[in-house]
Structure 1
Amino acid sequence: METILIVGGGAGGLELATQLGHKLGKKKLAQIVLVDKNTSHIWKPLLHEVASGSLDTSTDGVAYSAHGAKHHYQFQHGEMTGLDTQANSIHLAAIFDEDGDMVVAERHLHYDKLILAIGSVSNDFGTPGVAEHCYFLDSPKQADKFHRSLINNFVRVNQTGNREDLRIAIVGGGATGVELSAELYHVAALAQRYGLAQINANRLRISLIEAGPSILPALPKRISDSVRKELIKLGVEVLESTKVASAVENGFFTAEDKTIRADLMVWAAGVKAPDFIKALGIFELNRLQQIVVTGQLQAKGLDNVYVIGDCCGCQQADGSWVPPRAQSAHQMASLVAGNIMRARAGKPLKDYQYKDHGSLVNLSRYSTVGNLMGNLTGNSLFIEGRIARFVYISLYRMHQVAIHGWFKGMLMILVEKINRAVRPKLKLH
């Protein structure tokens, strides 16, 4: 029986495993195996909510093992560290528990077809001190680590007689940095309801640092202008055209030799494919270390290896690269699922064409702005407020339906609403 191995359970990888599980795994036509270094899935655009405490991974995550049992694929827990394209196998690192004891030894997994959906990580551009002193939000584990530190700092500032404000510096004016800035003001307001009486938005000093001339550089000027106005209204210090030269324990130094003090530092500037891809020495890569693919999303020179999501370097007809967004991963997963079925039927494969459905930026409960339609009509429609918020939430709902199906997806949404009504709105542990 053919083995189809999917490495990475993010938006694209999990949707692909679900589709192939129903098309092939259920009928025993192929063995579908999903590999991920985490045991559960959180939609990556929501990691800033995990970091702030608005979202709880223990209740809002999707357990791969349970999901796979219901959707006809197998789950293997492990981190890919090697690839042998001659033997058609990947190498997984050993798994250790919190005490350092080995749980699972190193192992190899065979494949007939391999799909790499390993996502991206933040790019610190080699800036001194960043790796040692900054928090990253590339995974639920990293987001949880920042959240624990945030709550500890809330407790510190809340102490009677402490007049110090909590200073948070976020490098990167993309969607993650912008949305986290707004979400932190929201949770500071919530903290007062749960015993932290001295914590409020006035005790926060948030600096959003962007090296380029404008925040949200990939989006239309009207959107970035509107978002900047909203952030400043909240109290965020928006520092554009400010390049960080180095990070130290208590803040950043800029290229202009300015000091930005901070108790907590987050690096959300730029993305790249994980370094181990480059270390493999197998693939052709672009400047973001993404694997360069053919029009059918196959790694160049390797017909049985597909690449989707943030680690996929897909060049469009105009020379630009497909942006690393959740909507790109969703579209790529659908195309690869179709191409695998076409190959089994002896039919020609289809080329991938990126369709930009627009972009939305959610500023917590304060505002949502964005544009719709993108290149579908040749024009973009600017939206904000409740309509934009509804569309933003709908994107996540579509993802839930894609991985759970319509019936269970609707039930999950209902359960989520009930949970939000009965449990605390802020995770304090």
Structure 2
Amino acid sequence: MKTQIVVVGGGAGGLELVRRLGAKLGRDAFDVILIERGQTHIWKPLLHEVAAGSLDANLDEVGYRSHGHRWRYRFFLGSLEAIDREARQVVVAPILDEDGIEIIGRHSIRYDYLILCIGAVSNDFGTPGVREHCLFLDSREQADRFRQKLLNHCLRVSRTMSVDPGANASVDVTIVGGGATGVELAAELFNSASALKHYGLEVFDESRLRVTLVEAGPRILPALPEDLAEAAHKELEALGVRVLVNTAIVEATATGIATRTGEIIPADLKVWAAGVRAPEVLHDISGLETTRNNQLVVRLTLQTTRDDRILAIGDCCSFTPHDADRPVPPRAQAAHQMARTAYRNILALIGERPLETFVYRDHGSLVSLSRYSTVGSLMGNLVGGRLAVEGRIARMVYLSLYRIHLIGVHGWLKGLALILVGHVNRVVRPKLKFH
């Protein structure tokens, strides 16, 4: 019987992990399986560009089936429902079509080693009305939904202005959360709005877009040094974004957002990007140790604390270095680094060799304000401090992060080819996606 290695979740870490395992182990004595609820993968840090229409996800997504064929792993469409640790099986939830009709029933998949990397979802902190009235950017489908709603509102305003040029019509967008996702989306919206007049909405421009960014903390971008966060704050305000800090949200309604101070911020579109947590399915799953945010607690080897055969990587796990007092932050760079350590440790488990300790190397943080600016800090703990960067250098480094992701997912040959194709596409393809 083949040794079965099951990876649940095809995000940045999971997809790189199955590529490495499939390429190394092949299909003769091993069976590498990826379970993922989506048909395709797109790098999550790009979802704000998909939402704003400035990135065509169809050109950047990775199909799991073709990728699995290339790298010798098997792909199963489905969502994790439970884990039977005694039988060493994962239970996959039934798959339903758009009409609610069952396509594939609930079933189980055996594992010898299991790696969980199902990412994170937005945390609404129990705020009333958020689930019902706000949009999220956790997946490609959610980003597509936002883009279509945004376009509909822009078309409505454009039509109103065509009929009545003096009308005070606008598209009001409120973004809750001053982290990287919220800040990048706010800037990208203005980039898209400025280009709409070239695509049939002649009377619409960025002056008809009103964006409010709301942050509960004392400043936006808390992961960056204060001077860089302040620079980003000023850049957003120069674009026309209304930035509110020290402003807590108490309720979301169909027409706006209510703050603790009593202000009602009217909004046609409301985006919640105020924090993340692991999916609810991980809450005390199969007796494994979890945090209050449903993250799986892992040891220094990335093995879960209560089962040596189950590992967790990426945003769904809580890893605290031995010399730190807080867990590693949920970032794409952490997921990529964990994937490499998990790969080596799975091989060590198979070969009954000692496992290695995961060492997180903080390469800093970068935030892109679309074509307007990029700010961030580099090196992190590599040089015992941070190097602040802005402008073109920061933009070049920011773009290189995606190139590193492409190489990690596709290998050097195809990764470099896709980077070249990406340069060509930026020249020949439309700057905005409308369908």
Please classify the TM superposition score into its range, dividing by the shorter chain length: over 0.9
Match of 1:349 in 2: 355
- Contact kept in structure 1, 2:54 and 2:432, CA below 8 Å: yes
Q: Which residue of 2 aligns with 1:236?
A: 241
Structure 1 gaps of 5+ residues are none
Q: Could you tell me which residue of structure 1 aligns to residue 424 of structure 2? A: 418
AA aligned opposite 1:174: G
- The aligned residue for residue 332 of structure 1 is 338
Describe the SS at the equivalent of 1:83: strand
From 177, 181, 190, the counterpart of 1:185 = 190
Deviations 1:91-137 (A, max 9, x none): 11121222333222221111110000000000000000000000000
Give the match's secondary structure for 1:287.
coil
Distance 1:279 1:379, change over 3 A: closer
Given residue 358 of structure 2, which amino acid in structure 1 is its aligned partner?
A: Y
Secondary structure of the 2:31 match is strand
How large is the RMSD of aligned CA atoms in angstroms?
1.1
* Aligned residue number for residue 128 of structure 1: 128
What is the rounded CA distance, in whole Å, between the counterparts of 1:62 and 1:345 in structure 2? 31
| Whole-angstrom distance in 1 between the partners of 2:353 and 2:106 | 38
Candidates 288, 293, 316, aligned match of 1:288: 293
> What's the TM-score once normalised by structure 2's chain length?
0.96
CA distance in 1 between counterparts of 2:16 and 2:49 reads 22
Deviations 1:206-262 (A, max 9, x none): 000000001011221122111101111111000000000000001011111111111
Q: Quick one: which amino acid aligns to residue 184 of structure 1?
A: L
> Do 2:85 and 2:286's aligned partners in 1 also have CA atoms closer than 8 Å?
no
- Report deviation, 1:279: 5.6
How many Å separate the matches in 1 of 2:318 and 2:284?
A: 17
CA-to-partner distance for each residue in 1:363-404, whole Å, 9 max, x for gaps? 000000111100011111111111111100101000101111
Aligned AA (1:223): L
Q: Distance in 2 between matches of 1:291 and 1:126?
A: 21
CA offset at residue 356 of structure 1?
0.2
Q: Deviations over 1:22-48 (max 9, x none)?
A: 11125x231111111000000011110
The one-letter code matched in structure 1 to 2:136 is F
Tell me whether 1:53 sits opposite 2:59 in the alignment. no
1:372–1:381 CA contact under 8 A, matched in 2: yes
Alpha-carbon shift at residue 281 of structure 1 (Å): 5.3
Q: Which amino acid aligns with 1:321?
A: P
Instruction: Tell me if structure 1 keeps the 8 A contact 2:84–2:286.
Output: no
Amino acid at match of 2:131: A
Structure 1 CA distance for aligned equivalents of residues 286 and 67 of structure 2: 34
- What is the SS of the residue equivalent to 2:307? coil
Amino acid at match of 1:12: G
What CA distance in whole angstroms lies between the structure 2 residues aligned with 1:133 and 1:108? 35
CA deviation after TM superposition for structure 1 residue 280, in Å:
2.7
Cα distance in 1 for partners of 2:292, 2:378 equals 29
Q: Aligned partners of 1:16, 1:275: CA distance in 2, in Å?
A: 23
1:181-213 CA-partner distances (Å, limit 9, x unpaired)? 000000001111100112211111100000000
Distance in 1 (CA, whole Å) between partners of 2:101 and 2:60 is: 29
Q: CA separation in 1, counterparts of 2:270 and 2:16?
A: 33
Instruction: Quote the residue 1:365 is aligned against.
Output: 371
What residue in structure 2 maps to residue 269 of structure 1? 274
User: Residues of 2 paired with 1:288 and 1:222: CA distance?
Assistant: 30
| Alignment partner, residue 402 of structure 1 | 408
Kept after mapping to 2: 8 A contact 1:157/1:163: no
Q: How does 1:2-13 map to 2 (within 5 A)?
A: 2-13=3-14
Q: Choose the corresponding residue for 2:215, options 210, 215, 220.
A: 210
**Aligned-partner SS, 1:336:** helix
The structure 1 segments of at least 4 consecutive aligned residues displaced by more than 4 Å after TM superposition are: none
Identity %: 50
Q: 5+ residue gaps in structure 2?
A: none
Counterpart contact for 2:284–2:294, Cα < 8 Å: no
Separation in 1, partners of 2:249, 2:138: 20
